[in-house]
Structure 1
């Protein structure tokens, strides 16, 4: 309790002195008188003995109960200085963190921009892929349609594939003719008969389709008898292959061809010319051939 009283007295005296200095200042005597006056107002008159005892007791209590205020201030100053250092370090750390945050923010912004560009690129690539896929689907559809058309055309053409070629004798050799009138020749040794439009028994070709056909005939023989044969369409002579030599045993060779427009069911065949003869053997010297150039509608 006495220690508290001592502290209060010291604080009151300190405040008074500071106030007087601020107001205009007092000299030491005035300060002493003021203090004495204050003591006289606050305390009843005492004897010198009691005042001395009280002063001694207060000094003892102040010495025993109050620590050194200067030491306390030094510790407080040291603490404040340390805290200021900590604050400076903390401020530097915060500043560094702010700079790191700014750099991180800039990096994040850059990454966002890169992501936007990448997203735009991916979107563009997806669009290109869709266009390519659509184009490929279109091409595949065209190819499929073309393939189907080709298959149908091939099937149609297969039905239109007509060709034949044959010679006179299947084996051996010898003369055919002469006859006093025209004689229909039968070419029995068949090389090709696509479409089976040629009949080797009758020697007649029957047109299965309307179209343009190419026909060709060749004759071979020996002089002095002439060798001659004609291609007929239905009952009409079209062309003739003819050869004649004066010297005996001279070889006779001749051929001729024609393109005919035939209707379905028209017939084409070869007739030996009257009083002529041909010779055939294993070399197949006399032939009759024909094929469809293109169909007509």
Structure 2
């Protein structure tokens, strides 16, 4: 609106000039005005482009700020997880140390029960046939508790699972072998009839659950005989696997 008024006043002013100059000044002014209008239009186009760029910059800045906020949040989460991992590592180390202490304490506190013996403690010995068929193993290799070398009977000191093993050696003149007895009840055995071969050897083993006070011993078969000497052919051993 202001530009149109200005243009009108300019034209009116020129109309009062000299006729020769009026025509020439009018053409020059019109050309100048056209140039200014084109400049203004170009400037407006550039302003529109600038406004578009500014909008893009604002949008980019917003996305950048959002990215920075997300990275900050993620860093805080990573720091939290690292702290949790450190805490878990410390608790794990403490737990492992406690387990090691418990293992050491259990190993020290657990009953240590084991024995191993053979029949002869000197020279040669034939045991059986006899009325008292209990075998008494007199040569002690080890005995940390439970076995009575005067009676040949093992008495369980504590409730638990016990492992027993034995071997027997005999000649063909009698039944060779022996029976593992628990509280007077047959459990396992070795056995061989009289035969043409000169000697027989056998072995057997078992894991028995015993209560404290239960008794285990070895017994001959009826009319049975076993042999031993310093070489330890006829043996009896046992130990506590673990308490129950």
TM range (shorter): 0.5 to 0.7
Relative to its length, the structure with more strand (as a share) is 2
* Residue 280 of structure 1 pairs with residue 231 of structure 2: no
Would the aligned equivalents of 1:245 and 1:252 in 2 still touch at CA under 8 Å? no
Q: CA deviation at 1:141?
A: 1.9
Identify unmatched segments of 5+ residues in structure 1.
1-119
Contact 1:216 1:290 in 2 (8 A): yes
The reply to whether residue 237 of structure 1 matches residue 186 of structure 2 is: yes
Bigger Rg, structure 1 or 2: 1
Match of 1:265 among 213, 228, 236: 213
How much does 1:139 deviate? 3.4
Q: Which runs of 5+ in 2 are unaligned?
A: 1-71
Report matched runs for 1:110-259 at 5 Å: 134-157=87-110, 159=111, 161-179=112-130, 181-194=131-144, 196-247=145-196, 250-259=198-207
Structure with more helix by fraction: 1
Query: SS of the residue aligned with 2:242?
Result: strand
* Cα offsets for 1:68-96 (capped at 9, x unmatched): xxxxxxxxxxxxxxxxxxxxxxxxxxxxx
Query: Deviation of residue 133 (structure 1)?
Result: 5.6
CA RMSD after TM alignment: 2.6
Secondary structure in structure 1 of the residue aligned to 2:194: coil
Q: How far does the alpha carbon of each residue in 1:159-187 deviate from its partner, in whole angstroms, 9 at most, with x for none?
A: 2x3222210112211312222x2421111
1:237 Cα deviation from its structure 2 partner: 2.0
> Structure 1-normalised TM-score?
0.50
Residue in 2 that maps onto 1:291: 239
Shift in Å, 1:286: 0.2
Q: Are residues 240 and 139 of structure 1, via their aligned partners in 2, closer, same or farther at CA, if it must alter by over 3 Å?
A: closer
| TM-aligned CA distance change 1:250 to 1:136, over 3 Å | same
Question: Deviation per CA, 1:232-283, whole angstroms, max 9, x where unpaired?
Answer: 1112222221112322x61111223333221110000011223221111121
Greater relative contact order (Cα < 8 A, sep 6+): 2
Alignment of 1:54-65 (within 5 A): none
User: What number of residue pairs does the alignment pair up?
Assistant: 170
How far apart, in 2, do the equivalents of 1:173 and 1:278 lie? 11
